[in-house]
Chains A and B, each alone.
Chain A
């Protein structure tokens, strides 16, 4: 890991100057493939399926960007990254966009030099415990041993939360979600903490999922979203507005089912501007007029992607909650397309 980080840092130092000058869009178009940094394996968000194809909530976003830019939702090279390697991978140019349930924080945005494209999942940190542990609140976890992914914001939130509540705990640092699972299941930790969505996804993979429960406390705000390198505003705009296009499509009622019909022209001028039948929003981004249509065509609008990967119909069974459209009382909100 040390060598990896160092090479990454050197590469980042060596390449940043070059990358900042050249447009990522041109690089992606030239190589014909979008390099997308994703989780090493978190069911529902990013994991390879039985056929070895990546699928999940974060994966769908990568495919949407690839479709918008390259016209092919399968022209994506998925680069699995850990909590520790993801930022060096992005800074060094190893990946073009990082779509890996990454929390938007001040230091990551400002100090590390990344641009967050927005929030595609409003999350918060929670705890999972065995039901037979007899714990019903995180405040009862005094003296517990807790597994936590190292190099993440959850590690810091955990320390803050226990300090605030004047209780103690013993951290067990792990590198990835898949390392945490056996430790938690074997009882080497009493509780496992990470983003509540990740816990739900992890719990869904347990054989005895019903024997485990998520504690009610959400101890932090974790706005998750895709991010790009700072300094390439055009590329950041493309990623940001691809996300907005997926969100706006849900709000406007554009789905993968009625996409062709809508693209034929509709009475709603915003739909027309979004799908490129009116105006030249695509050209302003440096793409063609159909960019958003292609992005939506891959796996549908935001709501469809949510429902297919992590929604209540899936084993992960996450309710929309905060992630409902603003019109439905949620926080998901796309700026206007005009």
Chain B
């Protein structure tokens, strides 16, 4: 009896950590973790000790010092008397701006190129194939430099000067120069807020109309036109209010004054170059994701839709794309992250992103390399994880719901 009960109680021996398959993997994972922690600790200690030996210390006090340099594109108030911290925030906003613009245009471009590459039209399909292959297989830095150079070959502002200028403004209001593109800016006069309010209400109205039309379609099968009523709802009330209020919103046209164009909105050359390069480059990758997503939808779906009498564009938008999205979105997330991270090549065209301000000028002027780079890493980590989190929520919403 006692012998049996002794066998029933599993007695733990140290050797079981290695020989018992139940514990072995845990043991090795633990050892690997311990080694990793020890290695990181050693590297950290090494860094601190050597910094101390070199008479340096880790300190973020420099963030409060006066930056002393100017930045060409600032979305918030900034002068050269602002602090390094302010300069870093200016850089962060510039990074976010180009990343956001890049993501939007790359998506549009990618979806179009991806669909068109599957087109039955030989020329269109081959053109898109050429675009995708050319842009995917050349490093993004090269594209940034090429597009930066191309933008620089636009006429200089001085070409617009004189009685018979070498260049003319587009439609008389838009100036394309190698310092940037100048477009008219809206001037908000008194009462303009009412027009804006009317426009916002129109948007809500348009959304409600579309909902109603969809509901009607599902309930009764009656198909209301979607396209032109939406446009009418969007435009007509705002226009009416605009004229009733006596045209409160004017336009500020750019005009050549002194060395540069003044007035209007200036989209600077570095932003244009970087934005274009990132969108076109990443658009090529997104095109491939889209193509893969569409091809992943069984051909039977398309045939079934055709059999029901749906036209090809409706088949695409109502049947194929919604299913393809489930395949497209996960790789799309990583493309968005790529755009954000690739935007750190901004300095190649002189765009003042976070890498150029905090990781470039501030780092150089203060000599605080480790502190600045650690901050940079933290920023890119946070922003990438945030994009990833948001996109994952969206992915969940379109993923196949298993019931």
Contacts and interface: CB of A to CB of B under 8 A. Distances in A.
Contacts of A186: 152-153, 156, 178
B369 A5 contact: yes
A84 B370 contact: no
Contact of A188 (B80, B156, B376): B156
B373 A159 contact: no
Nearest to A169: B70
Nearest to A182: B152
A230 B184 CA distance: 55
Contacts of B81: 163
A107 B347 contact: no
Contacts of B348: 175
Interface string B57-77: 000000000001111100000
B350 A172 contact: yes
Interface string B17-30: 00000000000000
Contact of B364 (A16, A113, A142, A151): A151
A50 interface: no
B369 to A, nearest CB: 4
B259 A145 contact: yes
A2 B359 CA distance: 7
B47 A84 contact: no
A195 interface: no
B47 A155 contact: no
A2 B373 contact: yes
A10 B47 contact: yes
A188 B360 CA distance: 22
A206 interface: no
B347 A156 contact: no
B306 interface: no
B206 interface: no
Interface stretch (B1-9, B48-56, B100-108): B48-56
Interface residues of A, number: 50
Nearest to B351: A173
B370 A13 contact: yes
B179 A143 contact: no
A107 B50 contact: no
Given A84-B360, A187-B156, A187-B158, A143 B178 contact: no
Contact of A1 (B47, B69, B347): B347
Nearest to B53: A17
A186 to B, nearest CB: 5
A13 B348 CA distance: 27
Contact of A107 (B53, B56, B178, B367): B367
Contact of B54 (A13, A155, A188): A13
A6 interface: yes
B70 A159 contact: yes
A188 B356 contact: no
B210 to A, nearest CB: 45
A112 B259 CA distance: 38
A160 B152 CA distance: 28
B355 A2 contact: yes
A107 B267 CA distance: 36
B241 interface: no
A252 interface: no
Contacts of A175: 347-348
Contacts of B363: 5, 84
B276 to A, nearest CB: 16
Nearest to A186: B152
A176 to B, nearest CB: 11
A141 B365 CA distance: 25
B260 to A, nearest CB: 6
Contacts of B53: 16-17, 20
Nearest to B266: A170
B347 to A, nearest CB: 6
Contacts of A88: 369
Contact of B373 (A6, A15, A183, A190): A6
A93 to B, nearest CB: 11
Contacts of B359: 1-2, 5
Interface of A: 1-2, 5-6, 8-10, 12-17, 20, 83-84, 87-88, 107, 111-113, 133, 141-145, 150-151, 155-156, 158-160, 163, 169-175, 182-183, 186-190
26 contacts: A1-B359, A2-B359, A6-B370, A13-B47, A16-B53, A16-B54, A17-B53, A84-B360, A113-B56, A142-B258, A143-B262, A144-B258, A151-B365, A158-B70, A160-B80, A163-B80, A163-B81, A171-B71, A173-B356, A173-B361, A175-B347, A182-B152, A187-B156, A187-B157, A189-B179, A190-B259
Given A160-B68, A186-B178, 18 more contacts: A1-B347, A5-B373, A9-B373, A13-B51, A13-B56, A13-B370, A20-B53, A141-B259, A143-B257, A144-B260, A145-B259, A150-B360, A156-B68, A158-B70, A171-B70, A175-B347, A187-B178, A190-B259
Closest 5 CB pairs of A and B: A187-B156, A9-B369, A151-B364, A159-B80, A16-B54
